[in-house]
Chain A
Amino acid sequence: MKPRSITLTVNGAKRTAAAEPRVTLLDFLRGPLGVTGAHMGCEHGVCGACSVLVEGEPVRACLMFAVQAAGKAVTTVEGLAGSDGEPSPLQEAFRDAHGLQCGYCTPGMLIAAQALLDENPDPDEADIREAIGGNICRCTGYVQIIEAIKLAAENLREAAQ
């Protein structure tokens, strides 16, 4: 099928490239757009490594076609850091609490956690477990990821006061 031109907003910038309808949002981001932060894991919606925000909501970029994201605002892990490249408070908390080891799942974890904190500044452990329930980590055993998200929430609440 013929490629068609697709324009969407990625991390605040308008981007246009051509893709066939069968190209997933994940492959579109990582390929023609060169935005490689969202990781390719299982490619069938199980692992969560490809999580991105579409219009502020976390979705699996491997289960959406790029053509469906036309005109929409997409945020990848690259969009979480400040404009100067400084890590976001959430990213800092992942570093401080050792919320990662190999780092492969981390972009998806950060996106899922950011979506949680955007909606709920004071999540309890059950809320956190629910929010990252669709993201698989094979290194950490999840405990330090949960601690990192708790720490980020605390730091953000303190900063807001």
Chain B
Amino acid sequence: MKPAPFDYFAAASADDAVRLLAEHGDEALILAGGQSLVPMMNMRLARPSVLIDINDCDEMKFMAADGDGFAIGAGTRQKDILKSAETCTAVPLLLKALAFVGHVQTRNRGTLGGSIAHGDPSAEMPLVAVTLDAAISLRTSNGERTIAASEFYSGPMSTERAPDECLMAVSFPLSTGAGTGFHEVSERHGDFAIVSAAAEINLDAGGKCASAAIGIGGAHPHPVKALKAEAILVGEAPSDALIEAAAEAATDGIEAMDDVHATGAYRMRVARVLAARAISDALAEAGL
């Protein structure tokens, strides 16, 4: 239960971090809050030979409106997001999801960017990013690019991030007047979800769904944006039958995993129930 030896560099700035990544390439990993990476290192499931610590990079800790989005620096700690009234207003789904993330001690260290880059299929922050299709900024020593969260994940803990790229920030679309819902089932509160569902819905003046963002976590090898469920909702007046139809479609395309915690069949069934609850909550909050 002790990590394998590694060399340690404390990056003084984001530029410093990407320079170190370019230098050490595949051997190196970024150390943010360490609440997922360090357990894996302690169990020797991860054995990076170089760690680049970004905890001192203050420029990577910010929360600010950014055009029609709300950008959060990758190094922003989860506890600081919970304490930011501005962020909770701009991206209320994040607040609801954070209530399920770990515990006081882990949220005091854990970062938004760390959770999103780590990409645990059951983790709440990646699910929120995928559901809202947040824009993820990645930087190398040669420049920066942005990728949609819905295209970022390729499997359990695998992403489109290249080894020399550092996740810099995540920009969420502003939630203007939307209602949100977040539900999950886990063994104990604060554990990773067995299944989770997120929803954000806007109603128009006539009471019809103007926009809908639905996502499912924990079932598929990565969080999934439920495009078919969204399409069923948009343009329609909400009803119990509509919610049921959308929830039924929320698992479309999901190939649910069997593991020691639950079977795939259980996950599929629970995903639909949680999707219905998340959609109902979001509609109620949106003023239905």
Question: Which positions in A face B, CB cutoff 8 Å?
Answer: 1, 20-22, 24, 27, 43-46, 48, 51, 57-60, 62-65, 67-68, 112, 115, 130-131, 133-135
Contact among B39, B42, B189 for A133, CB-based, below 8 A? B189
Does B51 reach chain A (CB closer than 8 Å)? yes
Pair B104/A133 contact, Cβ less than 8 Å: yes
Cα of A1 to Cα of B2 in the assembled complex, Å: 14
Q: Chain B residues near A43: list those with CB within 8 A.
A: 1, 42
Which residues of chain B from 1 to 45 have a CB within 8 Å of any chain A CB? 1-8, 10, 34-35, 38-39, 41-43
Pair B8/A58 contact, Cβ less than 8 Å: no
Which residues of chain B from 46 to 62 have a CB within 8 Å of any chain A CB? 51, 53, 55
A33 vs chain B, min Cβ distance (A): 17
What 1/0 mask marks residues of chain B from 86 to 118 whose CB sits below 8 Å from any chain A CB?
000000000000000011111011000000000
Pair A22/B3 contact, Cβ less than 8 Å: yes
Cα of A115 to Cα of B79 in the assembled complex, Å: 14
Q: Chain B residues near A59: list those with CB within 8 A.
A: 105, 108-109
B101 vs chain A, min Cβ distance (A): 11
Contact among B10, B104, B189 for A58, CB-based, below 8 A? B104
Cα of A65 to Cα of B39 in the assembled complex, Å: 12
Size category of the binding interface on chain B: 20 to 34
Which residues of chain B from 178 to 235 have a CB within 8 Å of any chain A CB? 189-190
Pair A68/B103 contact, Cβ less than 8 Å: no
Pair B34/A112 contact, Cβ less than 8 Å: no
| Residue of chain B at shortest CB distance from A61 | B105
Q: Chain A residues near B103: list those with CB within 8 A.
A: 48, 133-135
A65 vs chain B, min Cβ distance (A): 7
Pair A51/B5 contact, Cβ less than 8 Å: no
15 of the cross-chain contacts (CB-CB < 8 Å) are A1-B7, A1-B8, A21-B51, A22-B41, A45-B35, A48-B103, A57-B108, A60-B35, A63-B39, A64-B38, A64-B109, A65-B8, A65-B34, A68-B34, A130-B104
Contact among A21, A62, A64, A112 for B6, CB-based, below 8 A? A21
Answer whether A115 and B53 are a contact pair too, CB < 8 Å, given A44-B43, A63-B38.
no
Q: Chain A residues near B102: list those with CB within 8 A.
A: 134
Cα of A68 to Cα of B32 in the assembled complex, Å: 11
Question: Which positions in B face A, CB cutoff 8 Å?
Answer: 1-8, 10, 34-35, 38-39, 41-43, 51, 53, 55, 79, 102-106, 108-109, 189-190
Main secondary structure of the interface of B (DSSP, over half): loop
Pair B189/A44 contact, Cβ less than 8 Å: no
Cα of A154 to Cα of B187 in the assembled complex, Å: 33
| Residue of chain B at shortest CB distance from A23 | B2
Contacts beyond the supplied A22-B6, A45-B35, A59-B109: 11 A-B pairs with Cβ under 8 Å: A22-B3, A44-B43, A45-B39, A46-B39, A57-B108, A59-B105, A59-B108, A63-B39, A63-B106, A67-B10, A112-B104
Cα of A99 to Cα of B247 in the assembled complex, Å: 45
Pair A58/B4 contact, Cβ less than 8 Å: no
Answer whether A134 and B6 are a contact pair too, CB < 8 Å, given A43-B1, A63-B38.
no
Cα of A115 to Cα of B107 in the assembled complex, Å: 14
Pair B4/A22 contact, Cβ less than 8 Å: yes
Cα of A62 to Cα of B41 in the assembled complex, Å: 11
Cα of A133 to Cα of B188 in the assembled complex, Å: 9
A70 vs chain B, min Cβ distance (A): 9
B1 vs chain A, min Cβ distance (A): 4
Pair A115/B109 contact, Cβ less than 8 Å: no
Pair B190/A133 contact, Cβ less than 8 Å: yes
Pair A51/B2 contact, Cβ less than 8 Å: no
Pair B8/A64 contact, Cβ less than 8 Å: no
Pair A48/B2 contact, Cβ less than 8 Å: no
Q: Chain B residues near A135: list those with CB within 8 A.
A: 103
| Residue of chain A at shortest CB distance from B55 | A68
Residue of B5, B55, B104, B108 with most chain A CB atoms under a 10 A cut-off: B104
Contact among B2, B35, B108, B109 for A22, CB-based, below 8 A? B2
Cα of A57 to Cα of B108 in the assembled complex, Å: 7
B189 vs chain A, min Cβ distance (A): 6
Pair A63/B189 contact, Cβ less than 8 Å: no
